[in-house]
Amino acid sequence: MTKRITSLEDIEKTVEEQGFLPFFANEIAGFSLEERIEGKYWFTGFDGSWKAWDWKGPIARRKNCVYGKLFNKKAGFVSREWYPDLANWRRDGYDFDALYDDGKAAYDDKLVYDMVDQREDSMLSKELKKLGGFRKGGKKGFDTIITRLQMECYLVVADFTYMTDKKGNPYGWGVARYATPEKFYGMSFTEEVYQKKPEKSRERLLTHFRKILPHATEKQLLKLLG
């Protein structure tokens, strides 16, 4: 029987062991935090105690694994060992400037990416929306853009910031802070991501998925690979 997840450390250990862990249940049975976590720790909201929803920020900050929308536009975790291969495949060997220069990225994607990239650390999504003109009566599609940049492995979630009331008490779901992997993980990521041809990363990833998900179909694995 698979050990139930009961702590932040359990999540990190699971991701380290298997490399990948979607946050929510999906078409591959058993392959999610939702299905493996002890019920009382699942999605109970912010009430001052550490529950699954509130562990995302601390896990991202610790940098032992990557968090973001990485699985079919849904959230999840990828180990630092495997993220460079995922990024190499998803980016198809391109850094973002080259992607844009070749006409493979939209102007607003570049706008959002550049705003984040110009920061030394990370940028709050609320700031991105405001500075990029994504507001009522302004530009549309911010959520689509930010999801695409995560799926393409050009942005990651660096942390979550909770808004506070007049008494200083946190409330709400937490607002994501975004960073480029190059800035957030530093030179180690930069040196690893383009070490091999994208097709080699794809082959390595598929071999690993077949090992950890022997019950999944090839179609499901290819969808997971993106």
Predicted confidence (pLDDT) per residue in 185-203, tens digit: 998 898 999 999 999 999 9
Is it the case that residue 3 has pLDDT exceeding 90? no
More confident call, 46 vs 71: 71
Is it the case that residue 75 has pLDDT exceeding 90? yes
pLDDT value at residue 44: 61
Among 123, 108, 133, 147, smallest CA distance to 226 is for 147
pTM, 2 dp: 0.92
pLDDT value at residue 124: 95
Q: How many other C-beta atoms can be found within 10 angstroms of the C-beta atom of residue 13?
A: 15
Element (DSSP H or E) covering residue 8: helix 8-18
Is it the case that residue 43 has pLDDT exceeding 70? no
pLDDT value at residue 1: 46
Is it the case that residue 52 has pLDDT exceeding 80? yes
Residue 65 and residue 53 in contact, taking contact as beta carbons nearer than 8 Å: no
| DSSP summary character for residue 195 | S
Is it the case that residue 48 has pLDDT exceeding 60? no
Among 204, 183, 177, smallest CA distance to 96 is for 183
Residue ranges of domains in the chain, CATH in brackets = 92-194 (1.10.10)
Strands 170-179 and 123-124: antiparallel
pLDDT value at residue 188: 87
